[in-house]
Amino acid sequence: MSRRPIARSPDLQRLRQDGYDLECKGAYLLIKDIPYANAQRQIKRGILISGLELADDATKKPETHVTYWTGEHPCLSTGAKMTSIENGSPAQSFGDGIQADFTFSAKADYRDYHHKMTTYIERISGEARMIDPSVTAMTHPVHLAGEEETLFNYIDTASARVNVGALNEKLARLRVAIVGLGGTGAYVLDFLAKTRIAEIHLFDGDVFEQHNAFRAPGAASIGDLRAHSTKVQYWARVYGEMRAGIVAHPRFLDSSNASELQGFDYVFLCMDSSQAKREIVAALEQMGTPFIETGMGVLRNDDQLRGLVRVVTSTPQTRNQARPHISFADGNGAENEYSTNIQIVELNALAASIAVIRFKKLVGFYADSCHDYRCGYSISANEIVAEGV
């Protein structure tokens, strides 16, 4: 949990000073021990929840009037259901153990979160006080020092805005490796770094050079290029501004050290075709590790580029189907579509997008009715073809 928004936000500090039992979990505000009347005119205690709009982990003016509630549906002092704030939305899970049984809607132009939350609290607990005048939501709890958010350097408000926190938890304890941090691998990192994956390990022995900047996320500075950092050290530094858990391994992998991939939940292979790649694939298959391999074959023809982007997913259940589609061409012999090594930034990003979507299907984030082991995009036909089991 994070207490940073409370320390940085006058409206949340005022709620605490008033005596409310509040907690921030990610980008949600929870106020606990709110007294309410149920249908039997009994006094119960519930939790009022609101998403938070934040800038630099400090609250902004609320953009929505909606709140959520954990507990029975509040009633009037007569026992009749309180319909003035009722909303027909179903129960929801927001992740981090936050469960909402009901959604409330009391439309108003709220100045801040003190205004918003106390308005709801007064409506709900006011009915309870008509039954027992002694009850109050201002319980003045003892506040212990809280743990700070340890993964992200600032709170993920994007997930809270669309309530996908529970889905993000499916990735939270995973350890993932990316082998190859050229164009596609860097975009895979860009996408994964914004999830709650616990650890992302980067393997590549190359230096981040000028040509890499033109097929990678973001905008490298001249100073970045002059530093001659390895790719993995450069990218670990870039995304270390956002989160923890990114580990750089500045070396190439082959049969001599592929055992370093032991213990990862998933591996992304974003490396050029080579004998080393063949050895890594063999090692991953022996380990029983699911992996996603990316590649592209682009040719110049009639002063235009044509070709394909390819993503292969190999799991213990699809080894035999996936293996024939993995490219091991090493450039020897006749020229083929995998030996030209033409890479264009949008195709790198597309390959990474398909790979990460496939990964998120494997962990249950996205629905999957195809279970594809191969996905290919044709540039000239503008078609995506997938083969599944």
pLDDT tens readout for residues 4-42: 788 889 999 999 989 999 999 889 999 999 999 999 999
Residue 294 confidence class, pLDDT cut points 50, 70, 90: very high
Break the chain into its structural domains and give their ranges. Answer: 4-161, 173-388
- Window from 143-157, 232-246, 296-310, 346-360 with minimum mean pLDDT: 143-157
Please give the Cα distance from 10 to 240 (Å, whole number).
29
And the tokens for 102?
Answer: 């009901």
pLDDT higher at 343 or 291? 291
Positive or negative: CA dihedral 33, 150, 260, 297? positive
Please give the Cα distance from 58 to 219 (Å, whole number).
28
Phi then psi for residue 121, to 5 deg, are -60, -40
Averaged pLDDT, 246-259? 96
Burial pattern 288-300, b for ≥16 Cβ within 10 A else e, equals ebbbbbbbbbbbe
Is 143 in a helix, a strand, or coil?
A: coil
Strand 199-203 and strand 175-179: pairing?
Answer: parallel
The residue count for the chain: 389
**307: how many CB neighbours lie within 10 A of its CB?**
21
Supply the mean pLDDT for the chain. Answer: 92
Please give the Cα distance from 146 to 2 (Å, whole number).
7
Beta strands per DSSP E along the chain: 21-25, 28-37, 43-51, 54-55, 58-59, 66-70, 86-87, 92-95, 98-100, 102-105, 175-179, 199-203, 246-249, 266-269, 291-301, 304-314, 372-378, 383-388
And the tokens for 52?
Answer: 């938070």
CA-nearest of 33, 62, 61, 58 to 50 is 62
Classify domain 173-388 at the CATH superfamily level. NAD(P)-binding Rossmann-like Domain (3.40.50.720)
pLDDT at 341: 74
- CA separation, residue 249 to residues 201, 252, 338 (Å): 7, 8, 26
- CA separation, residue 388 to residues 281, 309, 326, 367, 372 (Å): 20, 17, 15, 14, 4
Contact 45, 81 (CB under 8 A): no
Query: pTM of the full predicted structure?
Result: 0.79
State the DSSP code for 54: E
pLDDT higher at 237 or 341? 237
Please give the Cα distance from 125 to 226 (Å, whole number).
63
Please give the Cα distance from 249 to 244 (Å, whole number).
15
pLDDT higher at 277 or 3? 277
Is 10 in a helix, a strand, or coil?
A: helix
**pLDDT exceeds 60 at position 235:** yes
Which residues make Cβ contacts (< 8 Å) with residue 159, sequence separation at least 6? Answer: 26, 27, 95, 165, 168
Report pLDDT digits (tens) over 149-187.
568 888 888 888 888 888 999 999 999 999 999 899 999
- CA separation, residue 217 to residues 130, 206, 235, 346, 348 (Å): 59, 17, 10, 10, 10
Share of the chain above pLDDT 70, in %: 94
Averaged pLDDT, 347-367? 97
Is 156 in a helix, a strand, or coil?
A: coil
CA-nearest of 54, 89, 95 to 68 is 89
CA-nearest of 151, 223, 257, 146 to 194 is 151
Please give the Cα distance from 79 to 73 (Å, whole number).
11
Contact 27, 49 (CB under 8 A): no
